[in-house]
Amino acid sequence: MAMKASLKGKYDADKTSGIGSLAFNAGDIKLRATMTDATLVAGPTLTGLSLAVEKPGSFMIEYNVPKKDVRFQFMNTIRIAEKPLNLTYIHSRADNRTIVDGSLVIDSANKLSANHMVGTNNYF
């Protein structure tokens, strides 16, 4: 099993913030750790740290360390009349929110999308 690692960073001078991400590819699975500048500025803390396991195009499980929150995301594509229907299911435990999203790509210029969110009091 070959593992690859990548390190990405982003710094926005206008917002005086930074984000760093370290990812390992282990076969089909990607392991990722992301931290914000809040993790390091006032000494090492777990503020702004998240850990994720992902199989691109299939699923992602992300754990937000300081919030002790788990977010699940499942993705799949099926074909309807030779057109791809992309489906996504997202559940965030701490927010008690579930999102179901679907989009049917008719052609390069036309796409039909729908989504539904359950578990929030924020209405249009």
Percent of the chain with pLDDT over 70: 73
Residue type, 69: D
Same-domain check for residues 1 and 20:
yes
Q: Tokens 């710094």 identify what position?
A: 11
d(CA 75, CA 89): 7
Range of the domain at 12: 1-59
Same-domain check for residues 1 and 34:
yes
Note whether 41 and 25 are within 8 A (CB): no
Domain total in the chain: 2
Query: Tokens at residue 122, please?
Result: 């924020």
Query: Tokens at residue 79, please?
Result: 């074909």
Same-domain check for residues 54 and 72:
no
Note whether 35 and 23 are within 8 A (CB): no
Same-domain check for residues 5 and 48:
yes
d(CA 51, CA 116): 27
Q: What is the pLDDT of residues 57-100, one digit of tens each?
A: 999 999 999 889 999 999 999 999 999 999 999 999 888 889 99
Of 12, 39, 59, the last residue of a domain is 59
Same-domain check for residues 78 and 120:
yes
